[in-house]
Amino acid sequence: MSESESTKREKEAALEAYNEIVENAELGDIRLVELHFDVKPVYYDDDGRPKHKAKFNCNISNISYDEEPASLGGLIEWSVSIEMGRKKLLSIKAAYIVIYDNVPNVGQNHSEAYFRKVGRFATYPYFRSVVSQLSWASRAELPTLPVLK
């Protein structure tokens, strides 16, 4: 068997494993476990509107699979900040624990790939809502967060 045939079979097996998770997994829970908001008074200089671009980030960690209840979980941390040089003028960070139930045991790599892709989309509306509420309450007038792709 050639290397390209082997690679093709590996990709097909990975896709089949991923699709098995997609067909069976159910969102069990999303919980906000950490929230941090900080805005410096200098942020409001210049008519209260930032002249600096927002930095946006997502970090996914602690992904684990538990075979007995067939659950997959992990931590997803979202953050947005406005910086002037190296100084953070505004920062928002929210961390969510996400759990999927009824997840077939198809291997760690496939489970992690599923969690990294689907977990981001599951938590993002919650983070956008938090940012919107904090922007309103602080009158920070943050720009709308981007659409995930």
The C-alpha atoms of residue 148 and residue 93 are separated, in whole angstroms, by 17
> What's the pTM value of the predicted model, to 2 decimals?
0.86
Output b/e per residue, 63-92; b: 16+ Cβ within 10 A.
bebeeeeebbbbbbbbbbbbeeeeeebbbb
Tokens of 3: 């290397």
pLDDT confidence of residue 125: 95
Token pair of 95, please? 């961390």
CA-closest candidate to residue 134, choices 60, 83, 84, 78: 78
Helix or strand run (H / E) with residue 10: helix 3-24
Rounded to an integer, what distance in angstroms lies between the CA atom of residue 142 and that of residue 147?
A: 15
Beta-carbon contacts of 29 under 8 Å, excluding residues fewer than 6 positions away, are 97, 98, 99
Per-residue pLDDT 10s for the chain (149 aa) are 556 777 888 888 888 888 898 999 999 999 999 999 999 988 888 654 545 777 889 999 999 999 889 999 999 999 999 988 788 899 999 999 999 999 999 888 899 999 999 999 999 999 999 999 999 999 988 888 888 88
Spatial separation of the C-alpha atoms in residues 23 and 59, rounded to whole Å: 26
The confidence score (pLDDT) of residue 51 equals: 59
The distance in angstroms from the start CA to the end CA of the chain is 36
The pLDDT value given to residue 24 = 92
pLDDT for 47 equals 59
